[in-house]
Structure 1
Amino acid sequence: MHRLTYPHGPDRFIELFDPTAVADETVGTISAIEHPTERSVRVSVRPNSRWNGFVAGQYVEFAMEIDGRRHRRMFSPAQSQHANGALEFTMSVNPDGVLTRHIQQSARVGDLVVLGDVSGDFHLPQARPERVVLISAGSGITPVMSMLRTLIDEQYGGEIDFIHYCRSASDALYAAELEQQEGALPGLRMHCVYTREGGVHFNAEQLAQLVPNYHHAQTFVCGPAALLEATRTLFDEQGISERLHQEAFGLATPAAGEDETGGEIHFKRSDRSADNNGQTLLEQAEQAGLNPEHGCRMGVCFACSCTKTAGRVRDLRTGEISSAGEEDIQICVSAPLGTVSLDI
């Protein structure tokens, strides 16, 4: 084989036909690109042989090279865990985000994607419960869509209530499929709530009306912070918090208090300073012309970890306030309280 491919090795010859075949990491090729709504993009990615699968509900690190730099985010595959072939990722496009905007505007079939580790505790238990409630809002539908498709493939014999919230029918990412799946299983019931077309956001009365027996179900919720907080409060009040499983796809940015703005952000290694405007430290570093390492922008991948040398920060996931001393923090989920110094 080496003689046939001289002066290059056989890997170089194979790479001309399939660049994923000789990759030393899990990569995939974009095989299809769709635009289900004005604010979203859907890509199908065919992974190479290093892909080991996932469990419905988990997320995977998704990366692409853009202008010479690798940009990473975490996305949940939306297909059944039993499906073979391409992985399906449906993403809301962030107008200020590099990766999703690139995929929407510039990505092409044949482009390469790097697939990192599969992670996450938000998934169906191996022993399927008798009753399942799936609740999502916006692009938070993808992990629970994977759960639904997986249960359909397994011909699940229990009860499923699927509740999805979005602004309007034109914003619903899987409206047609959800409607078609209504009769896919005897115990499956669909509830699409359009909040700008007469529907209301999640509340206790609505859940009791749609799913009277939710107290006895295992409930899986993915969506923005407001939905997670509302469901967590309800399940805590009902004393059934152990039946609630949640995954966030974004961060809540709390209204800044008197101690959260003002002061300065000092970037010590870069010898730069900027007035604290209350945004995350990653955003303020970028506004200051810096380009710190980062990935998911959600506090999941730890790519943005750095040392805070002085000052206090608030963790936007938990609301916790740090000490004023030196410690490692994730700048994508940390908002400064007054003056803060970073080793960037």
Structure 2
Amino acid sequence: MPHRETRRSTGLTTALSRRVLSALSYPHPVASYAEVLNPRLRRRTSSGHVPATVVAVQRPTADSVTLAIRPLSRWRGFKPGQFIELVVDVDGVRRVRCFSPAQSVHVDDGLIELTIKANADGEVSRYLYDHAHQGMMLAVSPPQGAFHLPDHRPERIVLISGGSGITPVLAMLRTLVDEAHAGRISFVHYARRPSDVIAGEELQAIATAHANIDVLIVYTAADARDQGAGNGHCSAAQLAALVPDLAAAQTWLCGPSGLMEAVGSVFEQNGWSEQLHQERFGLAVKPLDVAASGDVQFARSERFVANTGATLLEQAEAAGLRPQHGCRMGICSTCTCRKTAGVVRNLQTGELSSEPDEQIRICISQPVGSVTLEL
């Protein structure tokens, strides 16, 4: 009997210790701090990310940076078009963002190539543009996402991108070139000016060397429109002129929301939607422009604020909380949190959810009335 009592006491002490450690480490898991203290745990983090180091840095345009990253332990390859989560320490705070490797899948040098466009409002992209250097420590996730070329390559392929959306389709093009793909490929890219095109010289060299590949660059700035293959922003007439046989192609699209909507509308109106494959790096819809009502309760933190209508992540940050988050676009799921009451609107789909106990991504969830989070 004393032995059983000792075991019960030990179990209670362990449980209490775990609760105290969890409370002290909140909002990050205890394992995240253990990784820092114990080098043996650094080969793979508690979140499944692999530590990596930057081995080379280039700045190909005035607002982009290209990183060559070497994972420090085994990292499985990717399918052309997929993305990874990149973990960056920004002023002592771990940030997670999603980026697409741009190299061919057939490049076997053990490196990951990321080209990142510095966004004026992008905390991580701007930090990397300003501070990335050889020897910088990061972490990377395994590749993710259904946006990629199928194993059986289609005969007719169209790749459409805008701005930084070029990286996943550039990986596709480079892969197809390495495979000596015999089918016809149209690479359509939208940029403001020639100086803004990532890998511009390489793209022209590919077009010159391969008769089956058309590289069509369209410039949208008023002073550069006559220098490209098309004139101005995407339209149905423009697409028809650039790719007359679009109906016969499988198309991959990645870029800003305006381009996504314009191309998507063409495919929808013509009944070609099943031939269009898309990757969004932003919210598909905006928050409703209506008066917010109710309150948001952060139960674990014992905080209670008036609902402003912003996303739950933004409202948590405004309340002084620091919930884990990554992409802020509903891709990486780092910000997933349990909602115990209330209705939220998914800003990607526009759908409302009133389930009383569900896991939601707070970066793309807008409270509709009062909501309670386990945060």
TM interval, short-chain normalised = 0.7 to 0.9
* Partner residue in 2 for 1:37: 61
* Partner residue in 2 for 1:15: none
Give the drift of 1:160: 0.8
* Partner residue in 1 for 2:289: 257
* Partner residue in 1 for 2:105: 81
8 Å Cα contact 1:220-1:244 kept in structure 2: yes
8 Å Cα contact 1:30-1:111 kept in structure 2: yes
Deviations for 1:34-88, whole angstroms, at most 9, x for unmatched residues?
2233332221112235012111101112112334443211111001010122211
Within-5 A mapping of 1:143-292: 143-197=168-222, 198=225, 199-254=231-286, 256-259=288-291, 261-292=292-323
CA distance in 1, matches of 2:308, 2:316: 11
TM-score normalised over the length of structure 2: 0.80
What SS does structure 2 have at the residue aligned with 1:63?
Answer: strand
CA distance in 1, matches of 2:307, 2:154: 48
Gaps in structure 2 of 5+ consecutive residues: 1-38, 226-230
More off after superposition, 262-271 vs 138-147: 262-271
Q: Say how many residue pairs are matched.
A: 324
What SS does structure 2 have at the residue aligned with 1:118?
Answer: coil
Give the drift of 1:228: 2.4
8 Å Cα contact 2:287-2:310 kept in structure 1: no
Give the drift of 1:248: 0.7
CA distance in 2, matches of 1:340, 1:194: 45
Q: What amino acid maps onto 1:177 in structure 2?
A: E
What SS does structure 1 have at the residue aligned with 2:172?
Answer: helix
Give the drift of 1:215: 0.5
CA distance in 2, matches of 1:194, 1:336: 39
TM-score normalised over the length of structure 1: 0.87
Deviations for 1:255-282, whole angstroms, at most 9, x for unmatched residues?
53325x3443322222223343332211
Give the drift of 1:139: 0.8
User: Which residue of 131, 139, 148 corresponds with 2:164?
Assistant: 139
User: Which residue of 106, 109, 121 corresponds with 2:146?
Assistant: 121
* Partner residue in 1 for 2:127: 102
Return closer, same or farther for 1:275/1:252 CA change in 2, 3 Å cut-off. Answer: farther
Within-5 A mapping of 1:298-337: 298-323=329-354, 325-337=356-368
Identity of aligned residues (%): 48
8 Å Cα contact 1:157-1:185 kept in structure 2: no
User: Which residue of 68, 76, 87 corresponds with 1:52?
Assistant: 76
Give the drift of 1:154: 1.1
Give the drift of 1:31: 1.1
8 Å Cα contact 2:75-2:142 kept in structure 1: no
Deviations for 1:281-318, whole angstroms, at most 9, x for unmatched residues?
11221122110011222212221111223332221111
What SS does structure 2 have at the residue aligned with 1:295?
Answer: coil
Higher helix share: 2
Q: Which runs of 4+ in 1 moved over 6 A?
A: none
* Partner residue in 2 for 1:16: none
More off after superposition, 133-142 vs 105-114: 105-114
Give the drift of 1:187: 0.9
8 Å Cα contact 2:55-2:135 kept in structure 1: yes
Return closer, same or farther for 1:105/1:275 CA change in 2, 3 Å cut-off. Answer: farther
* Partner residue in 1 for 2:86: 62
Q: Which of 1 and 2 has greater Rg?
A: 2
* Partner residue in 2 for 1:23: 43
CA distance in 2, matches of 1:35, 1:336: 40
Q: What amino acid maps onto 2:135 in structure 1?
A: G
CA distance in 1, matches of 2:287, 2:237: 28
RMSD over aligned Cα atoms: 2.2
8 Å Cα contact 1:223-1:248 kept in structure 2: yes
